Structure 1
């Protein structure tokens, strides 16, 4: 790439900006002040068009709100975003980040790959990014440069997903519990009691039916009707909460998801010598501390599950980061190649049309050609396409650009 080409490419890339706020510096309450709904984006889109900005989109999740755009300054994006939130500029400048050029490009690649997620390798962010871009496209606010950036970002994210283990393994406590149970000998013939039919308990029940379909599962909850409905929805047994002691006695494994402020499972629910596995997934712990002292009872809490399963998963994912970064570097180079050729694109399109015009005029008015010798439109277009393709190659490989346009006309007219 020549110095001139590098300068032009850098001028274009430097206009790619991102301003955002995320979990790194801002708590949930602060992040919430800057959240954006799809409906709000319509107002942002109108403001962007009024400001002459042709490419912009906003991604807003529980962990981040970011505005990306092609602008003269990243501060233009701040002016677009903040007035449409419940936050203020002072807070945004205190907790936010502001990047342009290469730094902004690195950021969007890392975000899409899950490298910047609160849980390393979280692939959900890519779907959220795509939905944000699709919304912006409805307002015609994704131009050719932004579109090509996103194209390479998507390709990199997909390759990282399929060719590395960055997103593999268990990262949720509810699924970690299932993975722990899968390691239990003869799990197919064990009876599992789930106590608590809230959101967490519901997820546990669904995972049990999906990943341990042969295992007997019973659900109970302080509100019997809630447990009954969950049981029917997942085709598992239901037991009344008043029978908690008897149901614990019948179970081999008890999963506690009650999330109450005080313990809900007590030592007197267990007969001496009974062997049982207790998974306490509640915060704070809902299994009374003395239950651990009972003979034959093994209690595992959330922290222990995190240590045994989640920490191992994150260690595996961290080892995959260099592979992911190498893939990102490859696609960044691909984008750089495309970008430094892009400024010829409009000229090439114009020259293709001009060659067609010259050819039509030349064959129609010159007395050397009769009607039988006139080429049809399909062949004319093919010849022009071939000539422009060669011009693109010459512009890329040779520096005498002024001569290229004259040469291409001569070569084109001599091709019959």
Structure 2
């Protein structure tokens, strides 16, 4: 079992960087796979990376958080020096607490946004498939997921409809006096795109929505599900020309909506839901267009957020309970060799006792009872070899 003090995190988030900066350190799927395949060259065996529109963080075992950060930046557009200046770094219990807070939505740009937990789950799953996780990481994920489930079921931290996708629909509503007659183009039908589209359909009262995706089948499937239009990627410029609102959720490494696409467009609002930015920056102000990114969307006010803030103490208490359970497991895993040795010793003592008294060897729960008592002592007091002696004395006294 690895030493918990060697578990580190290095990351940046919306708290200390803007969307453009986060974009330089965002990790796409291919970059993540490159990290997984080169980890051994950096002396890293167990790690995972969480990269979303709000944050890029690397968690794992390494000599230091700076070592992890340098490894991460080997695949980013941004350099390690800049990342070091901008990033926060934690280790041991502090790193554990950070992960639990992030997974609960307590550190999300919109408080209580629980989409992050599925992103963490996918990050660890991908790392596991590439043999870059171990017992510690997988058990930590189990407790993180349980903590998130407890918070969702026992608090109102994620109640109501508040997320980046919801905020996008709200922003459109605030931007226009009437929304029912607006023509909306959504580029990108991944998870964020799907959620945004569903929010628009349910809240804006319009179905004049057109979907475009590089993989036409995905756009077609969502369009059929929601009863809206879809067009092939080659029709982007044509569809942009008829749209009043354009939303971009492509999460590509480079901009996918360019100024040239809008030469004949009358759109007055463009919303970029991607990190790094997937809308060419020159579009801001072009022909009077209002360009909005995820940082602006996070400022959309909603009464729900005020209610969620009241749930923070409850969520923190549930997190603490789950962290304590994980630490108990961690402590006991460290003592497994000692417990096995004690069990073997007690079995030998019992067997010799039976042979000397010519009594047939029989099933006896005394050993298990002693081991259970010993485990309890170990959790409460870490006294090393004293536990071994205590267990043998306890067994002899009960014989």
Aligned to 1:8: none
TM-score (normalizing by structure 1): 0.63
- 1:412 deviates by 4.4
Preserved CA contact (<8 Å) 2:167 2:298: no
In structure 2, C-alpha distance between the alignment counterparts of 1:403 and 1:200, rounded to whole Å? 62
Aligned-residue offset at 1:82: 2.1
Instruction: Check if 1:39 corresponds to 2:33.
Output: yes
The 1:43/1:29 distance shift into structure 2, 3 A limit, reads farther
User: Would the alpha carbon gap of residues 54 and 326 (structure 1) be closer, same or farther in structure 2, given more than 3 Å must change?
Assistant: same
Counterpart of 1:170 in structure 2 is: 162
Q: How far did residue 35 of structure 1 move? A: 3.0
Asked if the contact 1:33–1:86 (Cα under 8 Å) also holds between the matched residues in 2, the reply is yes
Counterpart in the other structure of 2:340: 349
Q: Aligned to 2:361, which of 365, 374, 378? A: 374
C-alpha displacement of 1:348: 0.8
Q: Which residue of 2 aligns with 1:393?
A: 376
Inter-partner Cα distance in structure 2 for 1:308 and 1:41: 34
Residue equivalent to 2:16: 25
1:125 lines up with 2:116 in the alignment: yes
> Does the CA contact (< 8 Å) of 1:45 and 1:139 recur in 2?
no
Question: In the alignment, is the contact (CA less than 8 A) between 1:44 and 1:81 conserved in 2?
Answer: no
Q: How much does 1:127 deviate?
A: 0.8
Q: Deviations over 1:155-195 (max 9, x none)?
A: 22222222222222333245548999xxxxxxxxxx95442
Cα displacement string for residues 315-369 of structure 1 (whole angstroms, at most 9, x for unaligned residues): 2223322322232233334444444555323311232234345555665xx3643
State how far apart, in whole Å, the 1-side matches of 2:229 and 2:41 are: 56
1:93 aligns with 2:84: yes
Partner SS for 1:328:
helix
Shift of 1:256: 5.2
Structure 2 CA distance for partners of 1:313 and 1:57, relative to 1, 3 Å: same
**1:196 equivalent in alignment to 2:188:** no
Bigger relative contact order, structure 1 or 2 (CA pairs below 8 A, ≥6 apart)? 2
Show CA shifts across 1:184-225 (max 9, x none): xxxxxxx9544234349996774576689xx8x65377x9xx
Q: Cα offset for 1:386?
A: 3.0
Distance 1:80 1:318, change over 3 A: same
Contact 2:342 2:391 in 1 (8 A): no
- RMSD over aligned CA atoms reads 4.7
Match of 2:208 among 183, 200, 219: 219
Shift of residue 408, structure 1, vs aligned partner: 3.4
- Tell me by how many angstroms 1:396 deviates: 4.8
With over 3 angstroms needed to count, the CA separation of the structure-2 counterparts of 1:14 and 1:410, relative to structure 1, is closer
Cα separation, partners in 2 of 1:389 and 1:54, compared to 1, 3 Å: farther
Q: Structure 2: any 5+ residue segments left out of the alignment?
A: 231-242, 248-261, 272-283, 289-296
Paired residues for 1:13-162 under 5 Å:
13-36=4-27, 37-47=31-41, 51=43, 53-162=44-153
Deviation at 1:110, TM superposition (A): 1.5
Describe the shift of the 1:196–1:81 C-alpha distance in structure 2 as closer, same or farther (beyond 3 A).
closer
Map of 1:405 onto structure 2: 388
Larger radius of gyration: 1
Aligned-partner Cα distance in 1 for 2:358–2:311: 66
1:257 aligned to 238, 241, 245, which one? 245
SS at match of 1:14: helix
Among 293, 311, 328, which residue is 2:319 paired with?
A: 328
Q: Write the distance in 2 (CA, Å) between the matches of 1:355 and 1:319.
A: 53
Per the normalisation by structure 2, the TM-score is 0.65
Rate the CA distance shift 1:316–1:282 in 2: closer, same or farther, 3 A: farther
Count, aligned residues: 336
Taking the aligned partners of 1:237 and 1:314, their CA distance within structure 2 comes to 33
